[in-house]
Amino acid sequence: MTEIKDLNRFWNAYKESRLGLIGLAILLFFVTLAVFAPYIAPYDPHEMFKPMEHPGSDHLLGTNDIGQDILSELIYGARVSLFIAFFVSVVSGIIGTAFGLLSGYFEMFGFFLMRIVDAFLAIPRLPLIIVIAAFMRPSIWNLIFIFIILGWPITTRIIRSEVLSLRTRNYVEAARMVGAPDTYILMKHILPNVFPLLVVRLIIEASHVIIAESSLSFLGLGDPTAKSWGMILHYAFVYPTIFISDLWMWWMLPAGLCITFTILSLTFIGYALEELVNPRLRGMTRI
C-alpha cells in the first residue's frame, strides 16, 4: 500500500518538471521501438534489396550500400544502443554501489580502494576506450566489458562520499546503539538513502555509454555485425560520395538524430531526478 503511495508521491513531484516529462516521453518512444522492433520495422535489417535506393514508398528512408532498409536498421539500432546503455549502467552501478558502500563505511578499505579509483579516474576515458577497443576483438560484449571497467570508479566515488556523510547521521548511530551489526546498518539504513543519488548517476552513466558506443562504432571499433546507430554512421561516412550527394540526408542524419534525442532524453530525466534529490536545484533547469 505505502509503496504505491510513495510511487504516487514521487510521480506527482516528478510531473512538476516539464523537462523531465519531455525526456520521459522521448525515452519511452525509443524503448518502444527497441522492444517491439520486429513488429514495427518494415523489414529484417539484414535482408538485402536493391542497393542505394532513394526514399520512396517501399523504403521510407531508402537502402544502404548493400541494400539493407535504413529505417529498419534504425529501429533495430535502438535495441543495441539501449541494451548496452542499460546493461552497463546497471552492472557498473551494482559494482560501484557495493564498493562505494564498503569504502565509505570501512575506513581502511576505503582508503586503499580510493587510491585505485584515483588511478582509474586519472586516465582520460575515451582515448583509453579507443585503445582497448582497438586491441580487443570488436564485439558487443567486449564493449560492455570495457564500459563497465571504466564506469564503476565514478559511481564508487559518488556513493562513497554520500556514505561518509550518512554514516555519521544520528539514526545510524542510534541503530548501532541498539546492537545493529554493520551489514544490517549498511543494507537497512545507508543503502536506501543513497538510492536517489544512485538513480541519477545511472541515468547519466547510460547517456555516457551511448555516446561512447556510438563514437567507437563510428570510428570502426564497434561490432561490425551489430546494427547500432554508430555503425550506421560509420558505414555511411566511409561511402565515397556521401557528402557530395543528398545521401547523408536519409542515411546519416536520422541515425545522428536518434543518438542526439536519446541522450537528450536521458539528460532531461537526469535533470528532473536531480531536482527531486536536491531541492535546492529546483527551478534552475526549467524551460
Site residues (vs another protein, CB under 8 A): 2, 169-171, 173-181, 184, 188-189, 192-193
Spatial distance between the Cα atoms of 238 and 66, rounded to a whole number of angstroms: 13
Q: How far is the CB of 119 from another protein (least distance, A)?
A: 20
Q: How far is the CB of 1 from another protein (least distance, A)?
A: 9
What one-letter code names the amino acid at 72? S
Q: How far is the CB of 24 from another protein (least distance, A)?
A: 24
User: DSSP per residue over 179-230, as a string?
Assistant: T--HHHIIIIIIHHHHHHHHHHHHHHHHHHHHHHHHHHHHTT-S-TTS--HH
Cell 563497465 appears where? Answer: 148
Q: How far is the CB of 166 from another protein (least distance, A)?
A: 10
Residue 1's Cβ-count burial label (10 Å; 0-12, 13-18, 19+) is: exposed
Q: How far is the CB of 181 from another protein (least distance, A)?
A: 7
Cβ proximity to another protein: between 44 and 173 the closer is 173
What one-letter code names the amino acid at 94? I
Cβ proximity to another protein: between 82 and 163 the closer is 163
Q: How many CB atoms lie within 10 A of CB 174?
A: 11
Cβ proximity to another protein: between 190 and 258 the closer is 190
Cβ proximity to another protein: between 177 and 244 the closer is 177
Cβ proximity to another protein: between 193 and 285 the closer is 193
